[in-house]
Amino acid sequence: MPKILTTFFTNMLTVSACFIFTLSSNVLANTSDYGIEVKGQASILVEPDNFNLSISIIEKGRLTDKVRARVDHKSNQVIDVAKNLGIKPQNINSARVSLRVIKEKPVVDVRGVEVNQRLPNNQKSKVYVGTSPSNHEDNIKSQSFEVSRTITVIFSDIKDYDQFLSAVIKIGVGRISPLTMSVGDTDKYYQQALAQAVKNAKIKAHQIINQTEKKLGSLLYVKELSSNHYRARYNSAAMSTSTSYEHSSQIGNQAISASVLVKYSIE
């Protein structure tokens, strides 16, 4: 066979082999994309077991020492109430203290005013109005001080919160922040929700494939779409000392959710 023909057939075989390999690769790629993809979701309802409450004791006065003493006295009363309910010391925080200077509007000081007035008989008269000069003590009284202390208490039982709040209102606290309710071990419940989300995805995939003549194959991959991003819940609005408290709190349940994306092959 001439050399030129041998070279031609060799090149043709090489091109054919490349074409067959490319075709096989495309078929395999299309096969890997063939399947059913579904999203699974699930939620676990959990009763909160952490209750966080912050209250502020606020006192005003001319002398900072006396005001601070009143704040400390009420703070000790509030802490004693918490301790008597069995609250652990590490769950009581009373370190935050603030001082604010209150500037009062100055009183008008009339040093001396001379008023000229003409009488009916064309005679002139003078009226003098004056006050005693202000002294240093009056200048001191033009300002006062506000001392406040914030106490944060963490409860594990909502009944303790109700008893605590009823007691501290009688003491006379200045401000009560909203109660924060949360779940302690959120990761444990999130893992439960995640496992249920995978099961729900498989159920959904079966429901879809049952509408066709195909069968659900093996699991190809699972992708976690959610994260354990938990947000605590506020129970009530802020209250002042004039607010009455005569009810029992209702905590309800909180949902911890998870979602996944799964893919199955089709037989």
By mean pLDDT, which of 21-30, 84-93, 159-168, 206-215 is the weakest? 21-30
Domains annotated for the chain, with CATH where assigned, are 33-49+183-267 (3.30.110.170), 52-106+140-180 (3.30.70.2970)
pLDDT band at 191 (very low <50, low <70, confident <90, very high): very high
Q: How many CB atoms lie within 10 A of CB 17?
A: 10
pLDDT at position 125, please?
54
Element (H, E) at 217: strand 216-224
pLDDT digits (tens, 9 = 90+) for 98-112: 888 888 766 555 555
pLDDT digits (tens, 9 = 90+) for 193-223: 999 999 999 999 999 999 988 899 999 999 9
DSSP character string of 148-176: EEEEEEEESSHHHHHHHHHHHHHHT-SEE
pLDDT at position 96, please?
74
Contact assessment for residue 148 and residue 97, using Cβ atoms and an 8 Å cutoff:
yes
Element (H, E) at 221: strand 216-224
d(CA 94, CA 206): 57
Residue of higher predicted confidence among 124 and 49: 49
pTM (two decimals) = 0.60
Compute the mean pLDDT over every residue in the chain, rounded to the nearest whole number: 77
DSSP character string of 63-114: -HHHHHHHHHHHHHHHHHHHHHTT--GGGEEEEEEEEEEEEPPPPP----EE
C-alpha dist (Å) from residue 45 to 32, 183, 186, 249, 262: 38, 11, 11, 19, 24
pLDDT digits (tens, 9 = 90+) for 247-259: 456 677 889 999 9
